[in-house]
Amino acid sequence: MSFPDIRLRRLRQSRAVRDLVRETSLEPRQLVLPLFVREGLTEPAPIGSMPGVAQHSLDSLRAAAVEAAEAGVGGVMLFGVPAVRDAVGSGADDPRGILNVATEALAAEVGDALVVQTDLCLDEFTDHGHCGVLAADGSVDNDATLERYTSMALAQARAGSQLLGLSGMMDGQVAVIRRALDAEGFTDTLILAYAAKYASAFYGPFREAVDSQLTGDRRTYQLDPGNRREGVREALVDEQEGADIVMVKPAMAFLDVLREVRDAVTVPVWAYQVSGEYAMVEAAAANGWIDRRAAILESLLSIRRAGADAVLTYWATEAARWLRG
Ligand code: PBG
């Protein structure tokens, strides 16, 4: 008579057995690298709160995108940092604006090797730092913002963006942009809807990365971190409006939302491992308090396990190399 009868450790006895029964995979093609390009730079400028990440010049941006492609990364997501800002974010839909110029360059350089994607939001381009235009009373005007987003979407599609990342959290943004793209013949341009984007403290380092002008917060358009059902509802509405992919953001503090959204929609679900998640691991690793590589890979695997089909992560190129090597 042996005891116990049920021995769960049998499946963990060796690396070979563990490899055979692992439920979740992590592959380079499932990673998307966010990249920052700043107007007027000739050399990349380091971002203090994101060690290892830089604001790129056009040249260093191209090099970083080529590296990502060579590592097998699935896509790059571009953010532009303009030299001049104004109330309506004029740089966003100007074909000579930094984001559109950089998109054209990357589409030519790596457009066949990976999916060139662009952030579609006004916050980097406005002098008040909000994701939309302001009404007379200072509130963010949803419907006036939609007009700006439409113009931005067309500019990005014309520049060669293959996938538009709608991160502004305005109501109706997916439907109105889909209609505008189709009317101009951009029926193949993909829409990634930041469906469940929470008003999060974990965006802190990103604000430095894009020289954000924001004072105050985004709580009238981004979701309250206490709300789970509302995140699922956002994703369902965006799917209904025609989103090709929906996003949950941030990732690690919202894994429950990610799982529920994955179970609720049929489109691909992505997650954004944001700047604060990056900074936490880098800071702990720099102090010798955590095994950097193991922590990065575990975080990415866990985001996949929670339901993400792909993950936006500042470690995309490095992690892809580890996964291949
Ligand atoms: C807004 C935007 C933000 C991030 C991506 N897009 C910041 C915000 O909503 O305040 C954050 C990404 C990160 O923290 O890594 N366009």
Phi-psi group of 72: left, alpha or beta (phi > 0 → left; psi -120 to 50 → alpha; rest → beta):
left
Q: pTM higher than 0.95, yes or no?
A: yes
* Closest atom, ligand 1, to C-alpha of 314: 15
| CB contact set of 85 (below 8 Å; sequence gap of 6+) | 91, 125, 126, 127, 213
For the question of an ipTM over 0.85, the answer is yes
> Which of 289-293's residues contact partners 24+ apart within 8 Å by CB, and which partners?
293/322
3-state secondary structure the chain: CCCCCCCHHHHHCCHHHHHHHCCCCCCHHHEEEEEEEECCCCCCEECCCCCCCEEECHHHHHHHHHHHHHHCCCEEEEEEECCCCECCCHHHCCCCCHHHHHHHHHHHHHCCCCEEEEEECCCCCECCCCCCCECCCCCECHHHHHHHHHHHHHHHHHHCCCEEEECCCCCCHHHHHHHHHHHCCCCCCEEEEEEEEECCHHHHHHHHHCCCCCCCCCCCCCECCCCCHHHHHHHHHHHHHCCCEEEEECCHHHHHHHHHHHHHCCCCEEEECCHHHHHHHHHHHHCCCCCHHHHHHHHHHHHHHHCCCEEECCCHHHHHHHHHC
Residue owning the nearest CA to atom 10 of ligand 1: 203
Q: CA-CA distances (angstroms) from residue 96 to 146, 285, 320, 321? A: 21, 40, 33, 34
| CB contact set of 227 (below 8 Å; sequence gap of 6+) | none
Give me 202's structure tokens: 């974990």
pLDDT at 10: 98
pLDDT at 224: 98
* Closest atom, ligand 1, to C-alpha of 167: 16
Q: CA-CA distances (angstroms) from residue 277 to 17, 28, 59, 225? A: 32, 19, 28, 16
pLDDT at 250: 98
Could you tell me the distance, in angstroms and rounded to a whole number, from the CA of residue 20 to the centre of ligand 1? 38
User: Which residues are near ligand 1 (CB < 6 Å)?
Assistant: 119, 121, 123, 167, 203, 206, 218, 274-275
Could you tell me the distance, in angstroms and rounded to a whole number, from the CA of residue 198 to the centre of ligand 1? 10
- Given the residues 56, 85, 128, 197, the one annotated as active site: 197
For 34, list phi and psi in degrees, rounded to 5. Answer: -75, 140
**Domains of the chain listed by start with CATH number:** 26-324 (3.20.20.70)
Decide: 248 and 308 in contact? Cβ < 8 Å: yes
For this structure, is 249 an active site residue?
yes
pLDDT at 142: 98
Could you tell me the distance, in angstroms and rounded to a whole number, from the CA of residue 70 to the centre of ligand 1? 26
Residue owning the nearest CA to atom 9 of ligand 1: 203
pLDDT at 299: 98
Pairing of strands 54-56, 75-81: unpaired
Decide: 161 and 117 in contact? Cβ < 8 Å: yes
| CB contact set of 241 (below 8 Å; sequence gap of 6+) | 172, 174, 175, 178, 193
pLDDT at 150: 98
Could you tell me the distance, in angstroms and rounded to a whole number, from the CA of residue 203 to the centre of ligand 1? 6
For this structure, is 75 an active site residue?
no
Residue owning the nearest CA to atom 14 of ligand 1: 203
Neighbours of 321 (CB within 10 A): 15
Decide: 209 and 47 in contact? Cβ < 8 Å: yes
Tens digits of pLDDT across the chain (325 residues): 789 999 999 999 999 999 999 999 999 999 999 999 999 999 999 999 999 999 999 999 999 999 999 999 999 999 999 999 999 999 999 999 999 999 999 999 999 999 999 999 999 999 999 999 999 999 999 999 999 999 999 999 999 999 999 999 999 999 999 999 999 999 999 999 999 999 999 999 998 889 899 989 999 999 999 999 999 999 999 999 999 999 999 999 999 999 999 999 999 999 999 999 999 999 999 999 999 999 999 999 999 999 999 999 999 999 999 999 8
- Amino acid type, 58: L
